[in-house]
Amino acid sequence: MIDVSIDGESLIDPAMLADIEKFETQLEHYLSGDLSEDAFRVFRLNNGVYGQRQGGHNQMVRIKAPAGKLTPTQLDAMAHIADTYSRGWGHITTRQNLQFHYVQLEQIPDVMRELMAVGLTSREACGDTVRNVQACHLAGACPHEVLDITPWAEAAYRHFLRSPIGQRLPRKFKINFSGCATDCGQAMFNDAGVIAVQRELDDGTIESGFRVYVAGGLGATPHPALALEPFTTKEDLLPTLESIMRVFDHHGNRENKLRARMKWLVGQLGFDEVQRQVLRERKFLVASATWPGGIPGEVLKHGDAPAGVRSQTEVTPVGQGVSVTLRRGNPFEAWSDANVVRGNAKGTVSAYAWCRLGDVTSDQLRALAAVQRQLGAEIRVTNRQNFVFRGLTEDQLPRLFEALEAIDMAQAGAELSRDVVACPGADTCNLAVTQSRGLAAAIGKRLEEEGLAEVGGIRTNISGCTNSCGQHHAADIGFFGAERRAHGQSAPGYQMLLGGHIGDEQIHFGQKALRLPAKAAPEAAVRVVRQFSEGRDAGESFKDWMERVGGVAKVTEGLKELDHFPAPNENADYYVDFGETGPYESEIGESECAT
C-alpha cells in the first residue's frame, strides 16, 4: 500500500484518485476484451501512457512538470518509480516532461498512485489534449525578464487540466511561456505561445502584459507562430488561451491527423479569419461556465514581479547564440563560466546540472533531491534536457559542483557544443526510423576527441524522424532520421539542417544542407563546429556567421564527399544503425502521438 499522507494528513487529490480508479476499471475492461484496442488507446494516451515499439505490454509513462518545477520529494518519487517499475533511469523531454520506459501496462495504476502521493500526474501528457504547459526555466530568477511567468504558466496548467473541452481535441495542443523576447521558453513554435512584454500608456506609465502568438509548430512542415494582437492584458490572458483552444476544437481537421494542428487551421482558414474567430470567441467567453477572466489566483498569491537586475556588468547573457567563453582552466571554474547565470536583483544565482542525452538515473535523481534539500534551492527541468538549480548563493556553488561531480553531472555543458539534444528515437518510439540517441552520443564523443566539445554558442538537436520531437528545425545544427537505399539495401541516414534559431520574438527554421549516411553524420557535425569555431568573429552567432560566409551552400562545400555509401562488402558498418548489431531495418509502428 502506497503511503499518501504526511503526519496523518491525507494527500489524496480527489480528481487524481478518480483518474486512477477509472484507469483501473477501463484497464480491466480492456484486458478482458470488453473494451476495443482503439478506444483503450485513446483513453491510455489521455492518461500519459504511450505504447513502445517493443510491443506487448511495454509502456512509456510521461510525467508532467508544469513550468518545469520539481520538488525533492517528487525527485525521490521518480527515482523509486525508475527502480520499481522501469529500468533504473528516466528521460527528460524537450517539453519539460520526464518519462519512464518499459513500464508494464498492469502496473500503470500503481505508478499513478506513486505520482498522486507527491502531487504529480501523467494526465494529458500525451494524446489529443492540452499538453504540459511549458515555461522558461529561469522564470523568476532571470535578470532579463519582463515578468515572472511562472504563476501564469501554473494558472494555465490548472485551468486546462481535465477541462471538458480539452479531452478530445482534433490534435495535441501546446502552450508555452517566456518572460522576455529572448524566448528561452520557445514560445515561437507552439500552438499558443506567450511572451511577456510592456507597453507605454497615454499617460506615460508602463503596463506589463503579454504578446500571444498562435499556430507555431515544427514537424515535417514547420510554421512560425503569428502574433494574435499587439498586446494582451493580464486580465485577458487566460480567456485568450481558452479562446484559441476553442477555435481549434471547433474548426480543426478531425479527419486527417497529419493536418490537424493549429498551423494547418491557419492554412485552411487564413490567419485573418483565425484571428477574427479567436477575438470573437474571447468577447463572448464571459458567458461560458469556464470563463477564466481576471487575475488568476496563483498570480495573486505568488506575484509576478520580475527578478530585476542587480548590475548590468554582472548580467549573464542567455538564449540561443550567446557567446560562452571558458576563461578559467580548472573544472569548477569552467563549470562556473558555462553553467552559472548571474545578475538578478536578489543577488542569487542559477546553475545547470548537465544530463548527457537527457537521461537521468535513479541514483542521480536521489542525489539531486538530496542536494536540493541541503541547499534550500529550487530545481526546474529545462527544454534542453537538463536541470537548473535556482536561488543559490555564490558560496553554495562549490558544494553544488562537488555534489554534481560525484554523479557525473558537473560537465561544463550549458550552451556549449557538447550539449547535444536528442529524442528517444528508435530505442522505444514507434515512429522513429533511426537511433537518434546513438547519433547524439557519437557526435558528443567525436567533439570530445577533437577538442571541440566546449565551443560556445552552438546547438545540435537530433530527431529520429521528421516529427521534430528533438526540435531539429530550431537548432544551429539539426538532424532528422530517414531511411536511405544504397547498393540495393536499406541503410540508416539523416538529413542535416543548418541555421535554425529562435530569439527576439522570431524563429528561423534550419535550412536543408545535405543528406548523410548515419555513420558519416558525426564527422559532418564536427567539421561544421570546427568551421564555426575557427571562423567566427568575437561574439558572433552561428546564424550570423553562416550568413556572412555565404550560407548553407558555402558551409557544406567540404561535406559533400560524406554523402557516400561504400558497398556492403567494403564497410558493412554503414548498414547497421548506432547501438544495433544486425542489418538496418526501417520499422515504423502505428502512430500514437509525438512529444
Q: What is the CATH number of the domain that holds 517?
A: 3.30.413.10
**How much of the chain exceeds pLDDT 90, in percent?**
91
Give the span between the Cα atoms of 558 and 471, in whole angstroms: 25
Q: What is the pLDDT of residues 320-374, one digit of tens each?
A: 999 887 876 799 999 999 999 999 999 999 999 999 999 999 999 999 999 999 9
**How much of the chain exceeds pLDDT 70, in percent?**
97
CB 50 within 8 A of CB 105: no
Residue the block writes with cell 494529458: 124
For the beta sheet containing 340-341, the strands, ordered from the edge strand earlier in sequence to the opposite edge, are: 69-70, 378-381, 387-392, 349-353, 340-341
**Is residue 411 one of the residues assigned to a domain?**
no
Q: What is the pLDDT of residue 10?
A: 47
Q: What is the pLDDT of residue 593?
A: 59
**491 DSSP β-pair partners:** 484
DSSP state of 132: P
Tell me the backbone φ, ψ of residue 179, rounded to 5 degrees. -85, -10
Residue scoring higher pLDDT (420 or 293): 420
Indicate which CATH number applies to the domain containing 11: 3.90.480.20
First to last CA, the chain: 32
Length of the chain: 595
Looking at the fold, whether 387 and 532 belong to one and the same domain comes out as no
Q: What is the pLDDT of residue 3?
A: 52
Q: What is the pLDDT of residue 7?
A: 47
Q: What is the pTM (predicted TM-score) of this model?
A: 0.95
**Is residue 541 one of the residues assigned to a domain?**
yes
Whether 465 has a pLDDT exceeding 80, the answer reads yes
Looking at the fold, whether 355 and 432 belong to one and the same domain comes out as no
Whether 594 has a pLDDT exceeding 70, the answer reads no
**Residue 4, exposed/middle/buried by CB under 10 A (0-12, 13-18, 19+)?**
middle
Looking at the fold, whether 176 and 100 belong to one and the same domain comes out as no
**Is residue 517 one of the residues assigned to a domain?**
yes
Across all residues in the chain, what is the average pLDDT?
95
**Is residue 467 one of the residues assigned to a domain?**
yes
Looking at the fold, whether 150 and 290 belong to one and the same domain comes out as yes
Residue the block writes with cell 480508479: 21
Looking at the fold, whether 430 and 499 belong to one and the same domain comes out as yes
**Based on the structure, what is the number of domains in the chain?**
4
Looking at the fold, whether 376 and 465 belong to one and the same domain comes out as no
Please give the full DSSP string across 181-210, using - where no structure is assigned.
TT-TT-GGGSSEEEEEEEEE-TTS-EEEEE
**Is residue 126 one of the residues assigned to a domain?**
no
Domain that holds residue 446: 421-575
Q: Which of 111-115, 204-208, 321-325 has the lowest mean pLDDT?
A: 321-325
**Is residue 582 one of the residues assigned to a domain?**
no
**Is residue 93 one of the residues assigned to a domain?**
yes
Q: What is the pLDDT of residue 590?
A: 66
Looking at the fold, whether 391 and 426 belong to one and the same domain comes out as no
**Is residue 54 one of the residues assigned to a domain?**
yes
Looking at the fold, whether 22 and 94 belong to one and the same domain comes out as yes
Provide the Cα torsion 509, 512, 516, 520; round to 10°.
Answer: -50
Residue the block writes with cell 563560466: 337
Residue the block writes with cell 550568413: 547
Q: Where a domain ends, among 283, 302, 321?
A: 302
Whether 226 has a pLDDT exceeding 60, the answer reads yes
Looking at the fold, whether 216 and 295 belong to one and the same domain comes out as yes
Looking at the fold, whether 236 and 321 belong to one and the same domain comes out as no
Q: What is the pLDDT of residues 337-352, one digit of tens each?
A: 999 999 999 999 999 9
**Other Cβ atoms within 10 Å of 399 Cβ, number:** 13
SS (H, E, C) 483-514: EEEECCEEEEEEEEEECCEEECCEEECCEEEE
**Confidence class for position 591, pLDDT limits 50, 70, 90:** low
Give the span between the Cα atoms of 71 and 378, in whole angstroms: 7
Residue 536 in grid coordinates: 567566427
Looking at the fold, whether 30 and 100 belong to one and the same domain comes out as yes
Looking at the fold, whether 72 and 170 belong to one and the same domain comes out as no
